[in-house]
Amino acid sequence: MTLKTISLVGFIVIAGLIVYSFQSTEYPKLEMQVSAAPAGGHHVLIFGATRNTGLEAARILTARGNRVTAFVRPGSDRSLLEPLGVEFVSGDALEKDTVTAAFTNNDYTSVLTTISCFRCDPKPDFLGNRNIFDAAATTGVQRVLLVSTIGAGDSYETAPWLTKKFLSGILPLKTQAEDYLISTGLNYTIIRPGGLKSDPPTGRAYLSESRNTMGIINRADLADLIVQAIDDNSTSGKILAAVDADLVFPWDMF
């Protein structure tokens, strides 16, 4: 690649970042409601609970007295989950029998899946989630929350060019997972976060039904929105973007 070509590519990337930085960070916000908790309270089965968003959701749920069961692979590091008092079931999301077994003889009121793997082969983003949705449908667990991403499904055109390029192998799988969940007839909520960070929560994150929504969100804030969605029956059957009003894309990613 010549120096001239490198310079041109650099110019295109910088220009693209500048364009996206001028996009509004305020989109129509979903007004959240609090519905009555199910009899006996919430019992949430979490796939992807050992780290990131799933771990943050487990922290929020257990802190307020909800039961949480974490589906973990054999040998996974449980050190951050054990102090929370969560229960464990062991298996691999890509192994359908272990997923089905995790649902057997349990009283889950909802299921949360945050699983994703950029470097895995095969990736669990569709195959693993399909196993989860099938098991939920078979065992009668109706409420399922899927963490997807902005750029999946009908939000593809909203994602920045760099995001679509970087996640070119992931976005089709996320779209398949969303479509499959919708087709099952389960009581679903799909949440699509923008760019993810692991900074402390700002408390300014929100959900939006607008397919034009693009931005950034901290994982702790995303987890809080997920828990609010679990509490809010009006989020059922909706696909929602999750961003933070205080974070400007792309500059606050760095």
Would the pTM count as exceeding 0.85? yes
Distance CA 60, CA 203 (A): 14
195-224 confidence digits (pLDDT tens): 999 999 999 999 999 999 999 999 999 999
Could you give all domains of the chain from N- to C-terminal order, each with its CATH number? 39-253 (3.40.50.720)
5-40 confidence digits (pLDDT tens): 445 445 444 444 444 444 545 799 999 988 878 878
148-203 confidence digits (pLDDT tens): 999 999 999 999 998 899 999 999 999 999 999 999 999 999 999 999 999 999 99
